[in-house]
């Protein structure tokens, strides 16, 4: 059926060769779109608002990225993790900023805000 669509553009002999190539390309593009959808669907975001992390506890798989979003309109935040196996420091986060953190080690980590000491998030990485 695809060969008939290509008959106007290429010779019938070439169209028989083109069908597997076009099919493979279509399959590859389709798989790529599915994978992109899965990656987007599994995006993990933590809101920083009202001097709190939302959610306050999180479980992720090693290698997953968590994006910290400063949802406050007038407050800076400063996310950091300090442990023997994993550390991260975002620096100051302006309102509206998004800071991705990839958790590369297994364990339980306390995420803190360097500006608001009562802000605490526990991340368990499996």
pLDDT tens for the chain, 126 residues long, are 555 554 545 555 555 565 565 555 455 444 454 444 444 445 899 999 999 999 999 999 999 999 999 999 999 999 999 999 999 999 999 999 999 999 999 999 999 999 999 999 999 999
Q: Report the sign of the C-alpha dihedral through residues 88, 55, 51, 122, in that order.
A: negative
Q: Phi/psi zone of residue 91: left (φ > 0), alpha (ψ -120 to 50 degrees), beta? A: left
pLDDT of residue 40: 45
Residue 116, annotated as binding a ligand: yes
CB contact at 8 A, 100 and 66: yes
pLDDT of residue 98: 98
Task: Give the tokens for residue 85.
Answer: 């196996």
**DSSP codes joined into one string, 113-125:** ESS-TT-EEEEEE
């Amino acid at each position: 059926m695809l060969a008939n669509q290509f008959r106007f553009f290429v010779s019938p002999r070439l169209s028989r060769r083109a069908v597997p190539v076009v099919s493979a390309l279509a399959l590859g593009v389709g798989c790529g779109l599915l994978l992109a959808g899965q990656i987007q669907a599994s995006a993990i975001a933590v809101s920083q608002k009202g001097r709190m992390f939302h959610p306050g506890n999180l479980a992720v798989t090693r290698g997953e990225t968590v994006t910290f979003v400063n949802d406050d309109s007038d407050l800076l935040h400063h996310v950091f993790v300090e442990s023997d196996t994993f550390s991260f420091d975002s620096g100051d986060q302006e309102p509206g900023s998004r800071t991705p953190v990839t958790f590369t080690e297994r364990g339980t980590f306390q995420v803190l805000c360097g500006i608001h000491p009562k802000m605490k998030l526990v991340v368990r990485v499996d």
